[in-house]
Structure 1
Amino acid sequence: MQNLSLEKAIDVLKRASQPVRAVVEVELLQALGLVLAEDYAAAADNPPFDRSSLDGYAFRAESTAGAAADRPAVFTIVGEACAGTFYAEAVPKGAAIRIMTGSAIPKGCNCVVRQEDVTVQGNTLRVPYNLAPYSNYCFAGEDVQKGTLLAKKGTKLTAAHIGVLASQGYDRVKVWRPVRVALASTGDELTAPGQPLAPGQIYDSNLYLLAARLQELGFVPEILGSLPDDVTAAAEVIAGCRDKVDIILTTGGVSVGKRDIMPAVADKVGERLFWRLAMKPGSPALGYKMGSTLGLALSGNPFAAYATFELLAVPLLAYLSGNTQILPHHTTAVLTDAFPKQSKGRRFIRAYHEQGKVRLPEQHSSGSLFSAVGCNAFVEIPPGTGPLQPETEVEIVCLYRKV
């Protein structure tokens, strides 16, 4: 299939794959960003006991009735409770214990007074005002009660989820296996950053761009490196990923030039799903499949690779992972700048979106990446659209940004 719409290409990729729903159990600290495979409920009240919200003294509140600065309530200090310890005896009327923040409040006490507000001489405590029952008092289960649903199946775990699960004693959780992504670039002209450039060579920015973006989105790519402009050699590397990863992403070698090897590689390792999209930039994108592994070959032009990754690969990754949070968001905004070009076909241009306004950078070349720094959206221009003027309302695609 050729010259597919973006939406049709996404549909073809989805139909050729299955969401990753294999269940694995991982250590809690390894679960950040992963998706729960089952519901998790509170196994106990949190806090598990009535506790003090501050450092001070605990006693029976009724004993402070009528207390004032000139006639304080007087208590005998009979003990101390620190966090992590437990004062097991009941505190009698007229007695108090010194207590620290987070400590369990013992029987016989129903309030806590701040230590800054009282006077202590020896084991005598003087409280200069009346306290209501349960002042500075945290009840068992005040945060979470036993049986409360902490996180339901399908939840992408955040740091807060990890903390809540830890507070209930969970040290391992069942999650959907992370989507396995392999990443490579193609081209004899590519040199790894940090190495000297030979004449005619360029640094491999695409590999770093997409690897970093994958990590922003919560995926850990397997880096295959830069593949040579040789069908057999490239096919050997890609075939080695067959059924070991869920998707292989490559950039470059996907058009119709002498060294555009990826169509032939796709034919050698599997079957083509589509080639070329009815959009700019990134029209020569190629989808293919080998076994249970999908392949997606994107343009080697840096911005074209970036755009088709966001518009084509990210929806596929959202489908495979079940994490719909990363999907691009479609809305409208008012253009603040002119776009002077005619758009014969469907076009996406980089933009800065904020509070219903969208601003364009000066550079829009597919080979230019610097002007994409800070961009958080694409303006979608329908086929047959003439130059755009300021104050035009346009359709935009907002990109997921981790916050």
Structure 2
Amino acid sequence: MRDDFPTQLTFDEAQAIVDATAAEDRLPAERLAIARTQGRILAQEVVAPIPQPPFDNSAMDGYAIRHADVAEGGTTLQLAGEQFAGRALDLRVEPGQCIRITTGAPMPAGADTVVVREVVRVEGDRIAIPAGIRAQANVRRAGEDVRIGDCVLSPGQVLTPARVATTASLGIDQLTVSARPTVAVFTTGDELIPPGIPLEPGQIHDSNRELLMGLLRADGLEPTAWPTLPDDPVRIASMLRDAASSFDVVITCGAVSAGEKDHIPALLDTHGRIHFWKVRMKPGMPVLFGDLGTARFLGLPGNPVSVFATYATLGRRLLDGLQGRTEPRRAFRARLAAPIDKAHARREFVRGRLEATEDGTLRAHPDAATGSHRLHAAAMADALIVVPEGPRQLSIGDVVDVLPY
């Protein structure tokens, strides 16, 4: 193998290479109906073509009045009509009058205040209004949420349900979003057996396939699982190059370390390009990143917890970058509920559980099961606790960064 690619680099250096590569390979945009854009990454600026609300309207069921008619000790007004939500009736409130109105109904001309119906007394066709009514009460003004020409959404933002609903409220029925990357998933090793098939001595069930496919689906992608890669470099090369000709991203699990059966680094060096190999992180140090054909290639280590940690920190970053996402993933600060003693120099991602205490403090409970094969322990956790580079002795109460699952 050549030795002209970065290796044993820091975690921050690895992230920077992933970011730069993703920025160069940004996926194209596509125009979709808003009903199909939930969870997608916006690729346009959204400017309001109308105000929101589009007209002055009532925030409550009650009576639209002129506040100038409210006397210090209360007053009685003549009921002059009804305005329900829907088509405006072009009603007007004259001095001494009021109009029955429902929530969302347009405010009649002349009215500036709505009195909720629970505080009034109906006396035939007259309405008794109590004292103490605040001017402008219970009225939603046109444009108080969004004005014409406001930028309401920007490229790179995630289209959450509330954001999609915002565009719908403005009458926008289509949005330009980034295409979703197509992803091919491989697990590796002659020892892997699908669940449901009895194991022979030396065999294990393939859990990485379900782990990685589930992580990708949870991120809104539709990955394709390929057959397990055998411990045969010729067949591995053929299968990976086939996938790389048809998918945007190829992700493998296993065969990236330095053992006799770890063929993938040499194959990527021969048939593609290595951007980096081996990152000073734990778990997941042997992670491999490069290009194969027209695809971006990410080789994750084989231990399940390493698969989880490297996907959560580097794989997800690559896929977000290809889609032009600008919003960072959620990260919190929490106080340790137990000490962490780290003797090595790598950045470590410790599995843990988050707990909110009664006083509002977020606490992180590190898991004592640190082995990268301990998948069940990872399943019982809900966050990765970030321990910075260098030997560290962290005490109870120390503040740490945490990445929620």
Q: TM-score, normalised by structure 2?
A: 0.82
CA–CA distance in structure 1, aligned partners of residues 150 and 244 of structure 2: 43
CA–CA distance in structure 2, aligned partners of residues 321 and 332 of structure 1: 30
The answer on 1:176 being equivalent to 2:178 is yes
Q: Give the paired residue count.
A: 389
Question: Which SS does the other structure have where 2:214 is aligned?
Answer: helix
2:28 to 22, 40, 48: 22
- Aligned residues of 1:351 and 1:378 also touching (Cα < 8 A): no
Question: Which SS does the other structure have where 1:312 is aligned?
Answer: helix
Task: Give the structure 2 partner of residue 371 of structure 1.
Answer: 377
Question: Which SS does the other structure have where 1:398 is aligned?
Answer: strand
The alpha-carbon distance between structure 1 residues 145 and 58, as it changes in their structure 2 partners (threshold 3 A), is same
2:105 to 99, 103, 106: 103
Task: Give the structure 2 partner of residue 4 of structure 1.
Answer: 8
Q: Cα distance, 1:271 vs. partner?
A: 3.6
Task: Give the structure 1 partner of residue 199 of structure 2.
Answer: 198
1:262-273 matches, within 5 Å, as 262-263=264-265, 265-266=267-268, 269-273=271-275
The answer on 1:391 being equivalent to 2:377 is no
CA–CA distance in structure 1, aligned partners of residues 131 and 19 of structure 2: 69
Residue identity in the other structure for 1:57: Y
The answer on 1:47 being equivalent to 2:50 is no
The sequence identity of aligned pairs, in percent, is: 29
Question: Which SS does the other structure have where 2:111 is aligned?
Answer: coil
Task: Give the structure 2 partner of residue 74 of structure 1.
Answer: 77
CA–CA distance in structure 2, aligned partners of residues 131 and 395 of structure 1: 50
Higher alpha-carbon deviation: 218-227 or 123-132: 123-132
CA–CA distance in structure 1, aligned partners of residues 26 and 394 of structure 2: 44
Q: Cα distance, 1:306 vs. partner?
A: 2.0
Residue identity in the other structure for 1:307: A
Task: Give the structure 2 partner of residue 83 of structure 1.
Answer: 85
1:3-402 matches, within 5 Å, as 3-5=7-9, 6-14=11-19, 16=21, 18-68=24-74, 72-75=75-78, 77-129=79-131, 131-193=133-195, 195-199=196-200, 200-216=202-218, 218-229=219-230, 230-263=232-265, 265-266=267-268, 269-326=271-328, 336-337=338-339, 339=341, 342-343=343-344, 346=346, 348-352=348-352, 359-372=365-378, 373-382=381-390, 385=391, 389=393, 391=395, 398-399=402-403, 401=405
- Aligned residues of 1:379 and 1:395 also touching (Cα < 8 A): no
Higher alpha-carbon deviation: 318-327 or 44-53: 318-327
The alpha-carbon distance between structure 1 residues 252 and 90, as it changes in their structure 2 partners (threshold 3 A), is same
- Aligned residues of 1:52 and 1:102 also touching (Cα < 8 A): yes
- Aligned residues of 1:19 and 1:322 also touching (Cα < 8 A): no
Question: Which SS does the other structure have where 1:240 is aligned?
Answer: helix
The alpha-carbon distance between structure 1 residues 191 and 328, as it changes in their structure 2 partners (threshold 3 A), is farther
- Aligned residues of 1:183 and 1:221 also touching (Cα < 8 A): no
CA–CA distance in structure 1, aligned partners of residues 275 and 141 of structure 2: 60
CA–CA distance in structure 2, aligned partners of residues 152 and 105 of structure 1: 33
Alignment deviations for residues 277-300 of structure 1 (CA, whole Å, 9 cap, x no partner): 444433332333123311111111
The alpha-carbon distance between structure 1 residues 380 and 100, as it changes in their structure 2 partners (threshold 3 A), is same
- Aligned residues of 2:339 and 2:393 also touching (Cα < 8 A): yes
- Aligned residues of 1:327 and 1:400 also touching (Cα < 8 A): no
Q: Cα distance, 1:31 vs. partner?
A: 2.3
Alignment deviations for residues 144-202 of structure 1 (CA, whole Å, 9 cap, x no partner): 22122211233232222212111101111112223333322223333444x23332443
CA–CA distance in structure 1, aligned partners of residues 188 and 338 of structure 2: 38
CA–CA distance in structure 1, aligned partners of residues 330 and 287 of structure 2: 19
- Aligned residues of 2:336 and 2:395 also touching (Cα < 8 A): yes
The alpha-carbon distance between structure 1 residues 99 and 271, as it changes in their structure 2 partners (threshold 3 A), is same
Q: Cα distance, 1:73 vs. partner?
A: 1.0
- Aligned residues of 2:114 and 2:139 also touching (Cα < 8 A): yes
CA–CA distance in structure 2, aligned partners of residues 392 and 293 of structure 1: 45
Gaps of 5+ in 2: 355-360
Q: TM-score, normalised by structure 1?
A: 0.82
Residue identity in the other structure for 2:125: N
- Aligned residues of 1:181 and 1:222 also touching (Cα < 8 A): yes
Higher alpha-carbon deviation: 246-255 or 271-280: 271-280
CA–CA distance in structure 2, aligned partners of residues 2 and 311 of structure 1: 18
Question: Which SS does the other structure have where 1:305 is aligned?
Answer: helix
